[in-house]
Structure 1
Amino acid sequence: MRLLFAGTPAVAVPSLRALLQHPAHQVVAVLTRPQAPAGRGRRLTPSPVAELAEAAGVEVLSPDRPSDPDFVRRLVELEVDCAPVVAYGALLREPALSLPRHGWVNLHFSLLPAWRGAAPVQHALLHGDDTTGATTFRIRPGLDDGPVFGVLTERVRPDDTSGTLLARLAEAGAPLLVATLDGIADGSLQPQPQPADGISHAPKLTVSDARIDFGQPALAVDRRIRACTPDPGAWTDFRDGRLKLGPVTAEAGSPDGRLPAGELLVGKNAVLVGTATTPVRLGSVQPAGKKPMPAADWARGLRLESGERLG
């Protein structure tokens, strides 16, 4: 089939790479978000999907919106059979939705109808799911509610962050997307409606959502930090600034019994912080304007003493 691939971040790259290598399909163009500022210099940088497409000699289309008339005209000219989508990052509307002969097929990183929306992996971790996965479905005007072609499941590991889990799903999801397109091409695969039960939503996590409340139980603190790692980045207040937090480890207790929420217990090789239940051991921390570092090194550098507070 002639394909228009739509995607933007690094998690879409495994799927695009697999389709570029597939002998039965031809990626005739790529749709991606416009260049965005990145790095300390805030230079305009092409998306990871755009970089791969350009290296492969594939046309890159970057409209402000996929409803832009110039993009719609180009889509008509390309005579696309199907448009696979992986984390494109913008809503698809008519008339673009109706132009590919077999529609737009999304690879979504959850077991639909669970976690419809922009941040399914983050919400799976935030809510303590034991299992997640990926789903291919036909895009309709609604939010991730189209009929399903195929699914895969993935166990959530105790130390997973949204970054590590999403990376595994991106690699595992690429063959699922390829198999889905193969089935559409030969007519062997028909999508099935999503169940009416089990619907949940996963809106994008904001910087405000990533603020850690040590007045919550240790389990909730651990889940929120891992869900927000690496994006948008977990953080807390410390002294007069913000302190970014990497994943923590729950402690069975502390030498002085339960620590008050947010209070630090500074040891030679570890820094504990109190929660509503058991303390947690800080992993890496990142003060403003500095690189991430082990919490014990941070404490030694500031000559921290027990009794100071986070949050």
Structure 2
Amino acid sequence: MRLLFAGTPDVAVPSLRALLDSAHEVVAVLTRPDAPAGRGRRLLPSPVAEVALEAGIEVLRPPTPRDPGFLERLTELAPECCPVVAYGGLVPQPALDVPAHGWVNLHFSLLPAWRGAAPVQHALLAGDPVTGASTFRLERGLDTGPVYGVMTEAVRPDDTSGTLLARLAGGGAGLLVTTLDGIADGSLQARPQPAEGVSLAPKLEVADGHVDWTATAEQIDRRVRACTPAPGAWTTLGTDRLKLGPVQPVEAADAEALAAGCVRVGRRDVLVGTATRPVRLGTVQGPGRKPVAAADWARGVRDLDGRVLGEPVPA
């Protein structure tokens, strides 16, 4: 089939590369406009645009898919199907109507679970033991279209949203190609999503990364991993905000009773109390500093033992 691929970040690159290696023809790529990056804030193309340009494929970067120029070019290209992976924009109905086989989205959850912008983060927050990816036909609703296929992926105890998403992006690329193969030869039909099991996954904001030390060790562990690498998990020490890497709940037999947020500095580690058992800090990043191992960070903080993280600063 003739395809227009829509995608923007690194997570979409495996799917684009898989389609370029497939029997299908990628005639153009739709991606978000160049964005400022780095210290110089120079405008740089998206990861998907870079791959497309290397492959000599036309790159379309409209400010919005509603742009009349884009809709005109889409019609001229006459794609039979438009696969989508993390494009980052709402596709309007006039664009949805152009390809005969519609727009097929690769979404990183087992639909109808975790519809929305942050399915992997919410799966980790909820403690799901298994997640996956789904291909479905785009329609006006939020990730509500009929599903073509799914793949499953076990969630590992040490998974962050970054590591889990990377695995789903790799496996999902194969699912997307298989889906398009089935659409092309007529062997695959989409099925409506069930009405039961719907959950939503809105984008996580900076405030969602704030660690509440009165939560359980397991809840804190999941929150930090879900917010790694973005938007980042954090706490405070006095007036300083500290960014935290993944933590490790201490085995119950080894756990010293600590009040929520109370810091205990050991010779090789740093423990913090929670509502249940303590957690062992991984990396800590202070203001204007680079992330370092918690023990190294602790050596640079005076009288840290016994202080409380997240405690409001007196007025």
**Normalising TM by the smaller chain, what interval?**
over 0.9
- 1:207-218 superposed matches below 5 A: 207-218=206-217
Contact 2:148/2:190 (CA < 8 Å) preserved in 1?
A: yes
Deviation at 1:40, TM superposition (A): 3.2
**One-letter amino acid matched to 2:7:** G
Deviation at 1:237, TM superposition (A): 1.3
Deviation at 1:304, TM superposition (A): 4.4
Is 1:73 the equivalent of 2:72? yes
Q: How many residues align?
A: 310
- 1:213-228 superposed matches below 5 A: 213-228=212-227
Match of 2:93 in 1: 94
Q: Secondary structure at the match of 1:209?
A: helix
The 1:256/1:88 distance shift into structure 2, 3 A limit, reads closer
- 1:63-212 superposed matches below 5 A: 63-212=62-211
Gap runs ≥5 in structure 2 = 311-315
Deviation at 1:43, TM superposition (A): 2.4
Q: CA RMSD in A?
A: 1.3
Match of 1:14 in 2: 14
Equivalents in 1 of 2:254, 2:138: separation in Å?
55
Contact 2:242/2:285 (CA < 8 Å) preserved in 1?
A: yes
Match of 2:5 in 1: 5
Segments of 4+ moved more than 6 angstroms: none
Larger CA deviation: 38-47 vs 234-243: 38-47
Is 1:300 the equivalent of 2:299? yes
Equivalents in 1 of 2:52, 2:303: separation in Å?
50
- 1:15-94 superposed matches below 5 A: 15-22=15-22, 24-94=23-93
Equivalents in 1 of 2:303, 2:105: separation in Å?
49
Percent identical among aligned pairs is 68
Q: Secondary structure at the match of 1:101?
A: coil
TM-score by length of 2: 0.96
Equivalents in 2 of 1:31, 1:256: separation in Å?
52
Gap runs ≥5 in structure 1 = none
Deviation at 1:42, TM superposition (A): 2.6
Equivalents in 2 of 1:96, 1:53: separation in Å?
21
Equivalents in 2 of 1:283, 1:193: separation in Å?
43
Deviations 1:253-311 (A, max 9, x none): 59883211111101111000111111100001111211111000001122443111211
TM-score by length of 1: 0.97
